Amino acid sequence: METHDLEKEYLKKNYIKLLVPICVVLVLAYLNYAINYAVGYKLVYVHHSHAVAIILWVLLGFFQLELLVYWVLIFLVGPGKSPVFPPIDLYSENNKGLIPLPDLFFCDEKGFPYYCSNSNSIKLERSFFSKDVGYNVIKFDHYCIWIGQPIGQDNYLFFMKFMMGFLAFFIIVLIYCARFTRESIQQGEIDHNFIVLFVMSGFWIIMIGCLFGIHLRYYIDERPFDMGFRRNWINLVFNGNRNHGKDDEFYTLWRLAAAFVVFIIPFIDIPFSFRGKLQVKDDVEQELHEQENLLAKYTVYSSVVNDKFMNMIDEKLKKNSYSAPGYLVETTPQNNQSTIDKDSI
């Protein structure tokens, strides 16, 4: 099957994913007509105050510009692509084509690292192969059907700012509708656009507000990768949404306050996000041997678990509350029983 045919088949199967963002744009166009013309001009500008109407148009224009910019950035930056990693050297064979055994990796019930057959690569923790982009997404969160793009490590902050812009847009719509509904009724009959605006703004404020709150809660306490409130917020804004790679001096109270400011104010986060985007320097790679290079890259792209999680692992080992990895189990010829050296875990 030719590439063109594959693309047509993919578009046919995923037409809903393409239609939903288009519908969002069309609904947004109607909302602009309803709030800016039916309410802003015909009611506020003509019968109430020119200044109040202009403030409405400026605010809605600003937040819709924010929506557009972050929508484009979510696509432009992408969710974050994981490199293709070869298998891990589980038996310490010193094979140059394998990743040297790391101190810790996430595994299946038999102790083997997770492998992605779609990309022929070892999977990092929280990574997921997305057919929409064709690669393993680092710290995959979800596919946002409203935006039309997967959300991962690299575009997660932009997604949060996108939600903030949409939430602010509907809050302004609701405030103006609540303020000028009585004036509309006093003119003889309420404009039917008010009904639609009340329903749409009320519904989406609840939906986006709940979703935004869930994501805030998720990022504040992302077990087992939670590094504490201060580090989590600083990492999101100033460290490319990674939870390691900086020393303790990086996580100051001043930088935490700056992270809140950058998070709240639109657009000023963009240069920090690009500067903090994950990059493996070529000069560093050239100074390492091939195996060291593989392990270093695997470590850089992985997330670090916190001390609480490591203590839990130590406790389970002390209590013999673990399952032996399949590749470490040896079978004795006498009784065909499995034995394992605890120190090898």
Which phi and psi angles does 128 have, rounded to 5°? -150, 135
- pLDDT tens profile 129-140: 998 898 999 999
Tokens of 129: 């192969």
Task: Give the separation between CA 151 and CA 165, rounded to whole angstroms.
Answer: 17
pLDDT under 70: residue ranges of the chain: 1-13, 222, 276-291, 329-345
Structure tokens at 328: 């470490």
- Contact indicator for 180, 48 with CB cutoff of 8 Å: yes
My answer on whether omega of the bond before 224 falls inside 30° of 0, hence cis, is: yes
Residue tagged active-site, from 23, 107, 144, 177: 144
In whole angstroms, what is the distance from residue 234 CA to residue 262 CA? Answer: 10
Q: Which two tokens stand for residue 226?
A: 């939670």
Find tokens 């703004």 and name the residue.
Answer: 201
| Long-range contacts, 125-131 (Cβ 8 Å, 24+) | 125/302, 125/303, 126/225, 126/303, 127/82, 130/79, 131/10
Quote the pLDDT of residue 334: 45
Q: Report pLDDT for 5.
A: 53
Determine phi and psi for 215, rounding to 5 degrees: -70, -35
Q: Strands 121-122, 128-130: parallel, antiparallel or unpaired by DSSP?
A: unpaired
What span, in angstroms and rounded, lies between the C-alpha atoms of 187 and 249? 63
Cβ–Cβ under 8 Å, residues 143 and 130: yes
Task: Quote the CA–CA distance of 162 and 156 in Å, as a whole number.
Answer: 10
- Mark out the alpha helices in the chain (DSSP H runs): 3-13, 15-32, 46-47, 50-77, 156-186, 192-220, 229-238, 253-264, 270-275, 282-286, 290-301, 307-318
210 an active-site residue?
no
What is the structure's pLDDT at 277? 64
> Which value, to the nearest 10 degrees, does the dihedral of the CA atoms of residues 308, 313, 316, 317 take?
-140
Q: DSSP labels for 22-74? A: HHHHHHHHHHHIIIIIIIIIIIIIHHT-HHHHHHHHHHHHHHHHHHHHHHHHH
Q: How far apart are CA 124 and CA 49, in angstroms?
A: 57
If we measure between CA atoms, which residue out of 140, 101, 95 comes closest to residue 119? 140
Helix (H, G, I), strand (E, B) or coil at 218: helix
**Residue appearing with tokens 């605890």:** 342
